[in-house]
Structure 1
């Protein structure tokens, strides 16, 4: 160091520059050899594009599927995640049918798979073969309480089909799944992922790539590691969860955004009925609407609290927004109530339900689907060809959402997947006006 200090300044600067070049060269060489020895590493940040082209001699078609559960919008979120995973993993999506009607909650893998097997076989069963009247009634009641429906008969699949190959399942019998795709139900050909979003998470980062086997009991998975798996089928216990897939790469974030934004209701009969009812309410974007969920789970148990919160939001909106002239009026003289045309969507389908009384008292102009029975008649023509069931009772909640979404402003309940889609659909309609 003493020697360096005695050198003339130009020579000293030149040596520092040479040392810098040598250090840079050594660092680049080190990175090159580390990547050579471990090709699974993309960079020191361990973040990679999951759609990077990976050279592989094995070009056979590989698949991904999952077990559906819960209501429509939980199934919708699972489907959106499944589409992203199929795209990211370069696999064909074997898509379960949409289960409408009775809700079947999440269960452990084997239990859920067996129950979905059972539901599929009930649909194929001839209830008339039941020996006792009690068994006959029970069989028919269960069989007609739900229906399996093709997703693309209800939602727009244009964007999804353009980016992912999809094979639709008609039923959920596991034996038929393996038979159709010529697979043996073993660990060599099928990789099962147990659990749901409370236990599992998936990342587009190499951060969790050190879990070498990405085994079925690991909770955190790199999508890039899953992409390298050789099993013919990746089989998930559940893909529901708004935060199940953790994304940091802009391209992946954008693709997930496009999946969600493109997933729009497209059934022509429902669209036509929605327009007719919206016109009765004063026209699209010319009335106010709200969603009150009080019929199930925590929403039923805490219905008074949820309704109170909803009313507070409505009152605050009326007091803050003085520009309500574009909203249709109804004739009310009571100064204690609001006289704007209002549509109320709810899983309680009547204004006579006690839990809705506070809203009806506040909003005497509120109308519900029950007020438009004559306009619902075209729904009777919608029949599911798979089981012969009329779709009216299954489509009522969807139609309810669509009418509410056509309002100028929508009041929703927090933590409801129904409400989250209602807001998304409303935003889509607002932007397309």
Structure 2
């Protein structure tokens, strides 16, 4: 056999061995939730505690919507929420239950593999099947952090029990922790729509395929109910007064509490003239993301509509501002160069219109913040700053059908209530 073939075969064997070693270590390296659940498996056999969990996907705003839906379902079903970590930067797109689990597990395996084995030879490998090949660079963007490092759960934890799943999505480990699991597996993006009253007259949302009454979960004997996706702002429908009150409590109490994030926002708001003393605007152009054709097509109409609304506020409201002849505008956007993209805005309101690019000096506070696996978080925090500054104005005007705008409007409304 030629030396070249022996060398290639030997290298392939080494790569395969490394992959299985890393996989095996991942299975062994159980996170806190697995250890907790292992002990709980014994303990819960003597009590009635039951659990609920789900699989996250897509961008941060969509993950937050899923989390809120899971919190509501945990409350209504009286189950402990096993809360997945936040996925950072690398977007895991929606898939059916099994495929989504596979994506999440593979991302973790590939990230660990590249960190442990590829730093010295990423640029050398030519074999595309090698996990160190440059085609797999995107796996290095995958990281996670706990939700309670970002949000304040103090109030909600008085109403429901919440435990962190940890920085893993190992299905086999989870199955070993429970003697019985009831799965809700959907293949479409909007499969089930959940209702809290069996006699609810409300019709099924046009996006969804089937009604599911939450009362059916209450009688399930399994220790764990495992959902796939819970994304969808209309996924859970509440008519019961007590449940609706809890939903408002979730919206009001689940505030961002990351110290550097809050300090950065406070500094920018002060430069804008103070809380509620400016108009927050969000324009989504879709120019940075594949699949956002709807926003790109409607961009001009969106800009005109928002401009009309901002003008309305100018004419009908007074702002406490001595530096400008009209209210200050803070523009949150996905546009790379807002001053060029929104010339109409800037020509009309300059020099009193600002975007995040005008406050780069405040973003340095995130330079040294990293995740557990040493991934830098500055890029992750920037859109959160955009969101929270825009929602802290006296008025907020957003883009139709944008989850960012919906979230900003919700935060804004509770702040001024």
| TM-score (norm. length: structure 1) | 0.75
Q: 1:220 aligns with which of 211, 217, 228?
A: 211
Q: Is the 2:280–2:396 contact (alpha carbons within 8 Å) kept by the matching residues of 1?
A: yes
Q: 2:324 aligns with which of 322, 330, 345?
A: 330
Determine if the alignment matches structure 1 residue 98 to structure 2 residue 86: yes
Q: What do residues 299-342 of structure 1 show as CA deviations (whole Å, max 9, x unaligned)?
A: 234322222222222223323x1x424245437xxxxxxx4322
Partners of 1:98 and 1:340 in 2: how far apart? Answer: 36
Q: 1:290 to 1:108 in 2, by over 3 A?
A: same
TM-fit CA distance, 1:394: 0.3
Q: How does 1:93-242 map to 2 (within 5 A)?
A: 93-127=81-115, 129-130=117-118, 133=123, 136=132, 138=134, 141-169=137-165, 170-179=167-176, 181-183=177-179, 189-195=181-187, 198-207=190-199, 219-242=210-233
Partners of 1:140 and 1:264 in 2: how far apart? Answer: 36
Partners of 1:325 and 1:126 in 2: how far apart? Answer: 53
State the SS of the aligned residue for 1:126: helix
Q: Is the 2:90–2:139 contact (alpha carbons within 8 Å) kept by the matching residues of 1?
A: no
Determine if the alignment matches structure 1 residue 305 to structure 2 residue 296: no
Match of 1:87 in 2: 75
TM-fit CA distance, 1:84: 1.3
Match of 1:38 in 2: none
Q: 1:132 to 1:158 in 2, by over 3 A?
A: closer
State the SS of the aligned residue for 1:421: helix
Q: 1:272 aligns with which of 247, 263, 275?
A: 263
TM-fit CA distance, 1:59: 3.4
| TM-score (norm. length: structure 2) | 0.77
Q: 1:301 to 1:328 in 2, by over 3 A?
A: farther
Partners of 1:103 and 1:309 in 2: how far apart? Answer: 30
Match of 2:359 in 1: 372
Q: 1:273 to 1:239 in 2, by over 3 A?
A: same
TM-fit CA distance, 1:344: 0.9
State the SS of the aligned residue for 1:283: coil
Q: What do residues 265-298 of structure 1 show as CA deviations (whole Å, max 9, x unaligned)?
A: 1111111111111111112222222111113412
Partners of 1:327 and 1:414 in 2: how far apart? Answer: 29
Q: 1:146 to 1:307 in 2, by over 3 A?
A: farther
TM-fit CA distance, 1:195: 4.3
User: What do you get for the CA RMSD once the two structures are aligned?
Assistant: 2.5
- Where structure 1 has 5 or more consecutive residues not aligned to the other structure, the ranges are 1-56, 209-217, 332-338
Q: 1:78 to 1:128 in 2, by over 3 A?
A: closer
Q: What do residues 174-223 of structure 1 show as CA deviations (whole Å, max 9, x unaligned)?
A: 223223x244xxxx533333246733112222349xxxxxxxxx932221
State the SS of the aligned residue for 2:217: helix
Q: Is the 1:120–1:173 contact (alpha carbons within 8 Å) kept by the matching residues of 2?
A: no
After TM superposition, the structure 1 stretch with the greater mean CA deviation from structure 2, 420-429 or 263-272, is 420-429
Count, aligned residues: 351
TM-fit CA distance, 1:155: 0.9
